[in-house]
Amino acid sequence: MATAQPQLGGFLQKYSPEMEKLGRASIAHMRQRLPGAVVMVCDN
């Protein structure tokens, strides 16, 4: 099983480059604001 970071990258790569960039920027922003938060991802 993949670790969380590569798995998240794989989920984001399924979207257009613009959406992938926005997703990565959003996660980085939230990690900065809420450093102890858990990132939950739903892959339907």
- pLDDT value, residue 32: 95
| pLDDT tens digits, one per residue of 1-41 | 668 888 888 889 999 999 999 999 999 999 999 999 887 87
pTM (two decimals): 0.74
Going by pLDDT thresholds of 50, 70 and 90, the confidence category of residue 44 is low
> Is 8 exposed, middle or buried, given 0-12, 13-18 or 19+ CB atoms closer than 10 A?
middle
The answer on pLDDT for 43 being more than 80 is: no
Cα–Cα distance measured from residue 11 to residue 8, given in angstroms and rounded to the nearest whole number: 5
- pLDDT value, residue 8: 87
**What are the CA-CA distances from residue 13 to residues 3, 25, 26, 35, 36 (Å)?**
16, 14, 15, 24, 25
Cα–Cα distance measured from residue 3 to residue 9, given in angstroms and rounded to the nearest whole number: 10
- pLDDT value, residue 39: 79
